[in-house]
Amino acid sequence: MWAMSAVGYRRLGAAGSAAAAAGGWAAGTLPTRDPWGIWVPHGPGVTVAATVLAYLGLTLLVVAWWGYGRAGSSVRHTLVTLGWWAAPMLLAPPLFSADVYSYIAQGAMVLEGHDVYGAGPSVLDPGGVGGDAAASVGGHWTDTPAPYGPVFLVLAQAVTLATGGSIVPAVLGMRLIAVAALALIVWALRRLVRDRGEDGERGALWLGALNPLLLMHVVGGMHNDGLMIAFMLAGVVLARRGRWVAGSALVGLAMMVKSPAAVALLFIGVIVGRAAAGRPAGHRVVKGLVGPGLVAGAVAAGATLLAGTGFGWLRTQSVAGTIHTALSVTSDLGLLLGELLHALLGTDPDPVKTAVQRLGLAAALAVIAYLAWRSARGRPSPVHALGLALVALVVLSPMVQPWYLLWGTTVVAATAWDGRAGRVLAVLSAALVYETAPSGATPWYGFALAAVAGAAGTVLVRRSARARPDRTRVPAPRTAERHGARTP
């Protein structure tokens, strides 16, 4: 089988990243207005050529990532490779999504005193601070209230204030936040797997940080999911070290970026319960279930009061679910069933779709509760169970975007990067990176490319599994970890 050295894959991935970024200068999610004249639209011929270049670069990056995971390398080499692959995107326009314009516009709304949870970016003055960002917001979000927490909105406000809302500096300011989130993810991953040796640390970084899906959508697209993941992972690190109060506080900050991070509180509770071994069962249960929630709730309330944005985020969490995405199984099934009943009985299809979506969320909550119960009884480890729980939440959610897969993938990377779950998530990462075009659209050929990449990844995984001894079992946690003791 054709293969290169780790250095060769590093160079191939850097070339792919550079090509994807270069394509983005003409085919990315360019702003509607750019007073600087840097990120401006080009003719259709140039745009098509740039799109092809971006997809070619993306393919080179995926191939390099896959090969790098099988090539021998050190942790230091992996970190340097991460720098090589991320660097070409630092000055590129937004890639694969226009969400960053919503972030900047919402920051401007907070700066100007608008109710960011009661109105959308369309309330901004087109000629004022944030006007250029508001004009570039995707159609779905122009009149949609923010579904994000006040911690993130304050960061967006700070970027808007520092840059005056000028579109290019504001985007680059948001990218600095994304790069900082990536650095925190790397820090947390290394500490979560420190007891698993060099191979475990390198593997966790490969799946959890070097992942093309993360590079393209956190560094390239600047999605705030990266910041949520970073705070959440750091909180889990502290909880495993016995500092569950500080860990729960960090998860509270993660929740104030995006609410799905709240799932981590349940598994921090499992860690707390294990740490109380020898105490009465009721004491362990109450401390584990109530303690982390109280800490995170206090942080959320304090952050909201300090930000001055109000508690409107409590009512806007369902905003995203109103937008249909083809990757949501429950939304697709609900839509299909609703249309079928409409054709047969003439009923309104919308209530049927909503009912199926709610059943999906109920099923997700049941799976999460079951994983927490199993983890409390000994297996799997709380960290691995958290990763699986987040994956289940994404699979059964009413709205699913490709980068949502990163919620659970980064956690599973720390526990089973080369296990069965890690291999499945690696294949899905390689496939879903194609689903969104550099312009942020979701064309039909994106799904076709994703299917091809998924099939190729499945074949490679099966060949790899046959070529070496089985390593699908998640290593048992150390005795100290099983009892929740502080780990070095």
Q: Residue 115: which of 318, 322, 310, 316 has the closest Cα?
A: 310
Element (H, E) at 262: none
CA–CA distances in Å: residue 150 to residues 133, 303, 380: 19, 7, 34
6-12 contacts, C-beta under 8 A, 24 or more apart? 6/68, 6/71, 6/72, 6/73, 6/77, 6/81, 9/64, 9/65, 9/67, 9/68, 9/71, 9/81, 10/64, 10/68, 10/77, 10/80, 10/81, 10/84, 10/85, 11/84, 12/60, 12/63, 12/64, 12/67
Cβ count near 391 (within 10 Å) = 23
Residue 93 three-state SS: coil
CB 354 within 8 A of CB 343: no
Residue 46 carries which side chain, given as an amino acid letter?
V
310 Cα distance to chain centroid: 25
* Separation between Cα atoms, residue 328 and residue 14, nearest integer Å: 32
pLDDT of residue 402: 95
CB 110 within 8 A of CB 157: yes
The alpha carbons of the chain give a radius of gyration, in whole angstroms, of: 22
Residue 449 three-state SS: helix
74-100, pLDDT tens digit by residue? 999 999 999 999 999 999 999 999 999
| Residue partners of 395: CB distance under 8 A and separation at least 6 | 329, 364
* Separation between Cα atoms, residue 464 and residue 459, nearest integer Å: 9
* Separation between Cα atoms, residue 133 and residue 104, nearest integer Å: 6
Please name the residue that has the structure tokens 């969490």: 317
Angle between helices 44-70 and 75-86 (to 10 degrees): 180
pLDDT of residue 315: 86
pLDDT of residue 341: 87
466-475 contacts, C-beta under 8 A, 24 or more apart? 471/418, 471/419, 472/416, 472/419, 472/420, 472/423, 473/419, 474/380, 474/381, 474/384, 474/415, 474/416, 474/419, 475/196
Below-70 pLDDT ranges, the chain: 1-3, 275-286, 320-322, 467-488
Query: Which segments of 81-132 are extended strands (E)?
Result: none
Q: State the pTM of this model.
A: 0.91
Please name the residue that has the structure tokens 């516009």: 105
pLDDT of residue 483: 34
Residue 473 three-state SS: coil
* Separation between Cα atoms, residue 19 and residue 5, nearest integer Å: 21
215 Cα distance to chain centroid: 10
* Separation between Cα atoms, residue 289 and residue 286, nearest integer Å: 5
* Separation between Cα atoms, residue 324 and residue 400, nearest integer Å: 9
* Separation between Cα atoms, residue 360 and residue 367, nearest integer Å: 11
DSSP class per residue in 409-448: HHHHHHHHTTSHHHHHHHHHHHHHTTTS-TTS---HHHHH
62-77, pLDDT tens digit by residue? 999 999 988 878 999 9
CB 239 within 8 A of CB 266: no
Provide the 8-state DSSP code for 381: -
Q: Any alpha helices (H) in 308-348, and if so which ranges? A: 329-345
DSSP class per residue in 59-90: HHHHHHHHHHHHS---HHHHHHHHHHHHGGGT
Tokens read off for 381: 């480890």
CB 104 within 8 A of CB 159: yes
Tokens read off for 285: 């249960």
pLDDT of residue 71: 85
372 Cα distance to chain centroid: 22
Provide the 8-state DSSP code for 32: S
